[in-house]
Structure 1
Amino acid sequence: MKTGVAMAALLSLAGCNSVAPSFGGGGNLGGGGGVAPVRAAPAGQVYASQLPPPPPPPATPVAQTPPPGQTPPGQTPAPGAQPAAQPTKTASAAPVTREGLVGAWRVSSGGGNCQIFMALTQWTGGYRAASRGCPGQVADVSAWDVSGSQVVLKDSGGSTVATLSNAGGTRYEGTTSGGQSVSLYR
């Protein structure tokens, strides 16, 4: 066993002294061969073009089956049936979190549609935002933050551009500092 270990050690030391051939076919180190230089990658031209406008906001949802106690549209209620109270839309009481706002959003403001992307990168006045194709004041949005239960969109100087409140689910409604209505939705 000792002889086998000694023989393996001797062979490995002998292997350290040998010179391996180079991959460039130039022979051993003293022959001046070495590795062939790598050719540069081809460099073509870079082209830029305008992106298409963002898609319009989603259409109003199709009528759904009414809750129990309500009559479907186009039908008459059964004799003696009491009309059910109509549901009212109220703002969601769900808390607004920064993590819940990260990502791409569609925006409707001033009769136009655009997109805003919000990240959690620290930025002047809050966190980094980028708008694409937005009209009016919303084009100036470069930062955002959460203040209580409201989403605040800001410009590069940290001034408030718009303040929005949760309108239920993933929709926020509000106004710009100039008084124009703005909707943020996914």
Structure 2
Amino acid sequence: MLHPIRIGAVTAALLVAAGCSRSMSPYSDNGPPPLAPVPTGQVAANQLPPPPPPPPPGDGFGNGETMSSDAEMSPGGNQGDLSASPDQNTQVASASRPALSRNSVLGAYKVTTDGGNCQIILSLTKWSGGYRAASRGCPGKVADVSAWDVSGSQVVLKDSAGTNVANLNSSGDARYEGRTTGGQSITLYR
């Protein structure tokens, strides 16, 4: 007796499920109405204008501002004095080493240093001691780099207190070589 009841219950459930799956569509059995055609026309193929010219050399800002003079950047104001001692970290741009601009230096670099390889990113975000720098996986004093700036023909890497960590000279296309204040050799390149 339970068997016919089960069959009846299952049949009723199937009919209800079949009735639920069939809904009345406002589009009847033909599906949705067709979409309006997209307007067609000629596609223009023009050349893009040439890119704007790069900023003039030595102008690291691109907006007419010029970098501070070396004398303004030095606490002693003797950057241009050739008789200053090398211990005072004074550097003068010479004909063989033209002054660098911040824009020409900023970006990501691979770093080779005594003790391993790592990465340094130099940005133009103002930071204590100059502009923001971030080192990644660097050993020794290079791990302390958190700021940078350009001084004449040198790239100066600094720690968060603004203390010099390394002075680097340009040695070619996007390559800078020097030593940390602790004597560790360091090369930045792309």
TM-score, length basis structure 2 = 0.49
Whose helix fraction is larger, Structure 1's or Structure 2's? 2
TM-score, length basis structure 1 = 0.50
